Structure 1
């Protein structure tokens, strides 16, 4: 696959027109009954070079790296370590045509494409089907610029089938929003068949914790960012901790390997080269390195949670990712995950204690602010109000008061019941 001139994030005029004129149709297609589902994947047969993402002309250094990778591909004795070194070192795997071959080798998956792929209709009964469809339809910025409408719909169908195949084969895995951003990157580079094998392996290994029924472990992992910041840049750590920034800014980075947050396709695939060749928690080290890289911008925002969160949530274009990756690798070697675990546990326990304290303070405040009606209602006898929220009890109480008032109004000061007055009159007659 050749590389591209324009970035994946910008749609050209033709694509913009197609998106605007067909968006309603795409959405309606996603809501069709099972009997009306049309599998359009035959419109899109994956071929090397099918989509052309061209970058600026290569430097001599990049051209040399390309020749080095091509030589390794031609050498049958090339080891896994060599593939990892090539993927991690400067410029990564350089081009998508090389990634087409090397990515499956990095993960040691079968690159054959003879497996039968089910149709969209066959998978449409899955409970996650509609959610996947909606997410895929929202991922237009990740599609090749200028792709004709028919091929775009076919690519969307391929992406939907790819995701559903994984979660059907592994029912203990749960689809999460952002998973499609990972899947489409592999789909665009290696095609539907090999992308399934890659996503299958990543989902059961690197992304496994993200695909559990709750996000508890994912939330826990994000705290490694602060533990690492404490080790390598205490000033940034203290500033962000004092501002109460938290970790949510990095959640899409971790869940999508930055695929959702980066505007430029070349940056996305460069990071994927790196993550495929490094340990599973490396995205957290890259996230920390990125935060430190932008430390001056963070300090300029002032110690304000909203401002810092907003700044970090938007990753600017044209960052020097090569230097960010070099720093991330140094951090990993100096402070591997096991050396950070104690700091992470301490931070999580502290946050949990603070959360419980705040919840108790809120309960106390609410208890102290109960209205007079609530206090009065709590003291009303059970026979008068059957339950605190019982409408019948309120009606009964109202009727009792009303009858008493009418009785007093009718009989005046003589508040005895009529049958008592009748008894008195009989006694006087005797």
Structure 2
């Protein structure tokens, strides 16, 4: 977040104390709405706006006061160049884009009240690792307060919708809304996205998410066949794009302005649009990909790191075009074919590996594997060693006593000779 100024706006002392000690407030404290500040209190210095951005700002401000503004108006403004321009406008427009109630009169539980939730410890760990998403240089107390708000926000959603599972990266989405619209409105937005756009990501397994990532290759096949074949030959796979899809690029981008610009776009676009943006981003960097050679590790490493100087406006324009030309239903057949092919190949590889391992086993291991469990000579059998030793000893004694050449047999022969000569 190199473009952020480290200065923090001045805070009203009373409001700040409420936010930084939210987990110690009594229920009665929430009755006084004047004490509740639903925003993050963290203001980032607005970058100098170009003439085009100033014009876009004016269009948005006029739309905010117009009685003829529709949802389509907000979507067009969010998708088109420069998005919603600034966080002060996003604060007003994001709830309108999702048609959520921006009221702030709902009681927000304390962190202590939510500490018994089974996901509590994992959420705490992830939130504590999300320092790069906070403004640089913020006071320690304020950072802790913001982390507590983020934890409460996440737990409130998954407690309200118990069929949804928290995943690592969910906090990167939540913190973006927390920073822009504050705790109360962020909750409304996150519950809407969690039950719609992010629903498949919050299932007990990542099976559907893995399936969705294959849309990238289906789209590449249609848009840039050479790049598709190159990456497919290198067995790059889709894991490089997993954090992009799960966090709406929030985890992978270094510049805050790029994150919120993409969030403008995604809030106004169809749910699978992050996959189209991911594909547009890969195509945008196609020359870099080819320069790495047909090496899976090198290409994966390259794509996993998103540079700061990308022209996201161009990338978004291309993503919109790809979606119009190749909507998800048009790619579905190719996606299924790819997934089935990968599953068959995985099964073949597993069978070959098992066969190779069996061929490498020693005679003793193969013998051991075919012995009954009660007499197997291994560390897990308590009686294997005793049984083996007893078998050897008994066999030896039996042979010694009754064998054809055993000493007792010799004595029996001598006795019989004596008896014959005595006669």
TM-score by length of 1: 0.85
Give the direction of change, closer, same or farther, for the CA distance of 1:67–1:375 in structure 2 (3 Å limit). same
Equivalence for 1:274: 265
Preserved CA contact (<8 Å) 1:159 1:180: yes
Question: Which region of structure 1 is more displaced relative to structure 2, 371-380 or 104-113?
Answer: 371-380
State the number of aligned residues: 395
Q: Deviations over 1:193-242 (max 9, x none)?
A: 00000000000000000000000000000000000000000010000000
Preserved CA contact (<8 Å) 2:63 2:69: yes
Question: Which region of structure 1 is more displaced relative to structure 2, 254-263 or 398-407?
Answer: 398-407
Give the direction of change, closer, same or farther, for the CA distance of 1:90–1:362 in structure 2 (3 Å limit). same
Structure 1 unaligned residues grouped into runs of 5+: 15-36
C-alpha distance in structure 2 between counterparts of 1:364 and 1:417, whole Å: 51
> Are 1:86 and 2:86 counterparts?
no
Give the drift of 1:333: 0.2
Give the drift of 1:48: 6.1
Give the drift of 1:39: 1.9
> Are 1:128 and 2:110 counterparts?
no
C-alpha distance in structure 1 between counterparts of 2:345 and 2:168, whole Å: 29
> Are 1:181 and 2:172 counterparts?
yes
Larger Rg: 2
Equivalence for 1:368: 359
Equivalence for 1:224: 215
C-alpha distance in structure 1 between counterparts of 2:75 and 2:7, whole Å: 39
Equivalence for 2:191: 200
- Within the candidate set 280, 288, 302, 1:289 is matched to 280
TM-score by length of 2: 0.86
Equivalence for 2:13: none
Question: Which region of structure 1 is more displaced relative to structure 2, 396-405 or 268-277?
Answer: 396-405
Equivalence for 1:7: 3
Preserved CA contact (<8 Å) 1:249 1:313: yes
- Within the candidate set 89, 92, 108, 1:98 is matched to 89
Question: Which region of structure 1 is more displaced relative to structure 2, 389-398 or 330-339?
Answer: 389-398
Give the drift of 1:377: 2.6
Residues 409-428 of structure 1 aligned to structure 2 (within 5 Å): 415=406
C-alpha distance in structure 1 between counterparts of 2:246 and 2:57, whole Å: 30
Equivalence for 2:200: 209
Question: Which region of structure 1 is more displaced relative to structure 2, 58-67 or 361-370?
Answer: 361-370
Preserved CA contact (<8 Å) 2:400 2:406: no
Structure 2 unaligned residues grouped into runs of 5+: 9-20, 30-34
Give the drift of 1:391: 3.4
- Within the candidate set 148, 157, 168, 2:159 is matched to 168
Equivalence for 2:375: 385
C-alpha distance in structure 1 between counterparts of 2:400 and 2:385, whole Å: 23
Give the drift of 1:73: 0.6
Q: Deviations over 1:135-179 (max 9, x none)?
A: 000000101222111111010000000000000000000000000
Give the direction of change, closer, same or farther, for the CA distance of 1:405–1:384 in structure 2 (3 Å limit). farther
